[in-house]
């Protein structure tokens, strides 16, 4: 499935696990990823872009802001990196939107929930369905 490419990159997310602020382990290199692992900023940009676009595109899906903030804290984004992070977020959001268009909303949303939903394979609980999230 084409959507697995999107999540192949995100699978290298060093911030995986329980979306905790503990020091992340070195990310594994996905088969289609470059030889060098992605930076924590790249990983956070991928997770943030995917989850924010999922909230916009997927019916009934909401981002749990606290969980996303935990991922940002784990990435150790400092004030001097804000401009770089903004560019990474723009670039990654464009790639995510292209993947969404290529895969179709239903398939893409299912993969986003599988990666970031309550049972998330990348970061659990960043996306929620059902009751409104506060």
| pLDDT of 59 | 92
Whether 63 contacts 126, CB under 8 Å = yes
Within-domain flag for 117? yes
List the chain residues with pLDDT less than 50. Answer: 1-36, 133-134
| pLDDT of 78 | 87
Within-domain flag for 115? yes
Within-domain flag for 134? no
Could you give the C-alpha distances from 28 to 38, 62, 64, 96, 112, in angstroms and in order? 9, 28, 26, 21, 20
| pLDDT of 89 | 94
pTM of the model: 0.70
| pLDDT of 37 | 64
HSE (CB half, 13 Å, CA atoms) of 90? 6
| pLDDT of 39 | 85
Report the number of distinct structural domains present in the chain. 1
For residue range 31-47, what is the model confidence (pLDDT) as tens digits?
A: 333 444 678 889 899 99
Q: Which domain holds residue 95?
A: 3-19+27-129
3-class SS string, 36-76: CCCCHHHHHHHHHHHHHHHHHHCCCEEECHHHHHHHHHHHC
Within-domain flag for 61? yes
């Amino acid at each position: 499935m084409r959507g697995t490419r999107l999540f192949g990159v995100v699978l290298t997310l060093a911030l995986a696990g329980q979306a905790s602020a503990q020091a992340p382990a070195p990310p594994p290199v996905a088969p289609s990823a470059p030889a060098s692992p992605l930076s924590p900023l790249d990983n956070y940009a991928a997770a943030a872009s995917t989850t924010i676009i999922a909230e916009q595109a997927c019916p009934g899906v909401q981002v749990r802001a606290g969980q996303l903030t935990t991922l940002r804290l784990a990435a150790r984004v400092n004030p001097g990196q804000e401009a770089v992070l903004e560019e990474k977020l723009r670039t990654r959001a464009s790639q995510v939107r292209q993947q969404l268009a290529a895969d179709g909303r239903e398939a893409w949303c299912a993969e986003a929930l599988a990666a970031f939903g309550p049972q998330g394979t990348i970061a659990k609980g960043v996306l929620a369905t059902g009751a409104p999230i506060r």
